[in-house]
Amino acid sequence: MDNIIQKIIEIHSKLTLKIANTKVLKKIAKLHGNIINDYSKCIYCNICENKCPIGAIKVEPILLQWNIDNDKCLRCLKCVKHCPKGSISLNKNK
C-alpha cells in the first residue's frame, strides 16, 4: 500500500511540475513575439501543423486557411524551421 501511495505522489509531482513549466514557457514565449504566416508564400501543406508539439496551428488546405493560436504557442519555432516555403516567421516584439 505504501508503494502505491508513493507512486501516486511521484506522478502528481511530475504532473504539477510539467503544468508549472508550461505556464512559465508560455509567459516567456509571449515576450519573444508572435508566429506569423506570409499567406502569399504558404502552400498549405500541413507540415507546420504536424510539427507543432501542442497543436497550436490548424491548416485547412482545401479552404486555403492557416491559423495559429498564439496564446497556446510555445514559440519552439519548429513550424518556422520546417516550412518548405519560408512563409512562417517570428514577428519579434520590440
Residue showing cell 502552400: 43
pLDDT of residue 75: 86
Q: How far, in Å, CA of 79 to CA of 77, rounded?
A: 5
Output the pTM of the full model. 0.67
Q: How far, in Å, CA of 47 to CA of 9, rounded?
A: 38
Per-residue pLDDT of the chain (94 residues; tens, 9 = 90+): 567 666 665 665 565 555 556 666 666 666 778 999 999 999 999 999 999 999 999 999 999 999 999 888 888 899 999 999 999 999 886 5
Residue showing cell 510555445: 74
